[in-house]
Amino acid sequence: MSAVFIGGATAVAGLGLKAYEGLHQDHEANQIQKNLKDPTYNIPAEFLQNKNIAAQMAQIGMPQQQYNNATNQIQANQAAAIAAASNSNNPSGAIAKIQGQTNAATGNLNAEDAAARQNNQRYSLQQNAAYGDQELAKQQNDVFDKYTRNFNLMQAYRGAGTQNLMGAASDATSLAGTAISAYAGQGQTPTFGQAYGLPNLQASAPQFTPPASNPPQGTIPYYQIAQ
C-alpha cells in the first residue's frame, strides 16, 4: 500500500470527520433555534393587589379590638367625670367641659386610627413590592436569561459548524492541489481517485474478452479473462 494512498486516506478521513462535526453542530443549532420562544412579560399580581388595597384605605386602621377598647375607656372616663360634676357647685359648666374633653379624646383616637391605617397601607405596599421584585427576578432568570443563554449557545454551535464545514472544504481543495502537483511532477494526469490519494480501481480491475462473433457450431460462448 503506497504512502500516497495512506496519506490520502488519512486526509479524507479527517475531512469526513470535519464535515460530520460541522453538519452535527449545525443540526444542534437548528434544534435550539426551534425551541426558542419569544420571551413574554407577565405583570406580577402584587401590582393588582396594591390597587385593591388602595381602594380599601378607609377600611384599614388600628386593630378593631384596640379601637373598641379606647372608645370604651373614653366613655368610662366621661361617665365618671359627669358623676363627679353632679355634686359640684356648677354642674352644667362642668359637664360641658367634660363633653369637650370627651370629644377631643375621641378625635385623637380617630386620628391615631387614620395614622395606623396609613402605616398599614405603606407596610403592605412595601411587602407586595418586595414580592413583586422577587417575581421579576424569577422571570429574568427563567425567561429572559434562559432565552439569551440558548440563543448564544445556538450561535456558538452554528459558528463552529460553519467553521468546520469551511475548513473541510479548504482542506479538500488543498489535498487535491497537492496530489495534482505530485502527479504533474511525474508527467502524469491524475484521476479523481488519485487526486485524493485513492487507488485507481479501474486500472487494477480484470479485463474481460468478449466471445467470438461467430463461435463454432456446437460450442457455448464464453468470456475469457485476459491475463
Q: Name the residue type at position 180.
A: I
The ranges assigned to domains in the chain are 3-197
What are the cell numbers at 220? 457455448
pLDDT digits (tens, 9 = 90+) for 19-35: 677 777 777 777 877 77
Q: Report how far residue 61's alpha carbon sits from residue 115's, in angstroms, rounded to the nearest whole number.
A: 7
What pLDDT, on the 0 to 100 scale, is given for residue 137? 85
Identity of residue 61: G
Supply the angle between the helices 3-35 and 145-185 in degrees, to the nearest 10.
160
**Cell numbers standing for residue 167:** 475548513
pLDDT value for 106: 93
Q: How far apart are CA 81 and CA 78, in angstroms?
A: 5
For position 107, what pLDDT does the model report?
Answer: 94
- Judge contact between 15 and 175, C-beta under 8 A: yes
Which residue stretches of the chain have pLDDT < 50? 1, 4, 196, 201, 203-205, 208, 220-227
Residue 204, Cβ neighbours under 10 Å: how many? 7
* pLDDT value at residue 68: 92
C-alpha distances (whole Å) from 47 to each of 44, 50, 124, 136, 171 are 6, 5, 11, 12, 61
C-alpha cell at 192: 479523481
Give per-residue pLDDT as tens, 121-152.
888 888 888 888 888 888 888 878 878 877 88
The pTM assigned to this predicted structure is 0.46
